Amino acid sequence: MLNLAILLTIWGCRPAPPEPPTNETSAVTTETPPKLTSPAEVTSALEARWSLDDIKTFCIPERRHNPMYQNLVTDVGETWKGTPYENVPTGFDSISWYGTAVDGKLHEYSLNVSRGNDSWLLEIGNVESFAKPPNVSPAPSRPGFIGSAPPENQTPDNAFVAPLKRE
């Protein structure tokens, strides 16, 4: 037993070997996130982040929002909202965002699009989200999308219905 304790002490006290250098770049950005201190600033930043082409790429039937997944709940701070591309023909009924502000700065937001009975949740994010590009073409098989619903949970118009109970 004493020998085991000595061996563990000797082995455990050695410094870890340094990591070998790699040629990969770090995913960490040194860019300072924007302050976003008003709804107008958030709207402008979202227009810069999500072009109309990006929004159209995202908004396919398979990526419609699955209503079984909750959108952002504004339960802290002040609620802000805005309408990107407000006076621009987009082909959608609405492109809008809502979110929360704490101490006069954006805390978190949800960007949404609708056309007819269809709706898409493009992203839920915060100030740090602006440091990386948006995911404009995620896999339609993700659980938050209607496209991921099994055929027995879709109506003829591809609307999502409650899961079936199986025995």
pLDDT band for position 35 (50/70/90)? confident
Total number of domains constituting the chain: 1
Residue 103 above 70 pLDDT? yes
Q: Is residue 14 part of a domain?
A: no
pLDDT band for position 162 (50/70/90)? very low
List, in order, residues 6 or more apart from 48 with CB less than 8 Å away: none
Q: Is residue 13 part of a domain?
A: no
Q: Is residue 65 part of a domain?
A: yes
Q: Which domain holds residue 80?
A: 34-150
Q: Is residue 134 part of a domain?
A: yes
Q: Is residue 24 part of a domain?
A: no
pLDDT 10s digits, 19-32? 444 343 334 344 55
Give me the residue label for tokens 């025995």: 167
pTM of the model: 0.71
Q: Is residue 166 part of a domain?
A: no
Q: Is residue 145 part of a domain?
A: yes
Cα atoms in the Cβ-side hemisphere of radius 13 Å centred on 100: 11
Q: Is residue 164 part of a domain?
A: no
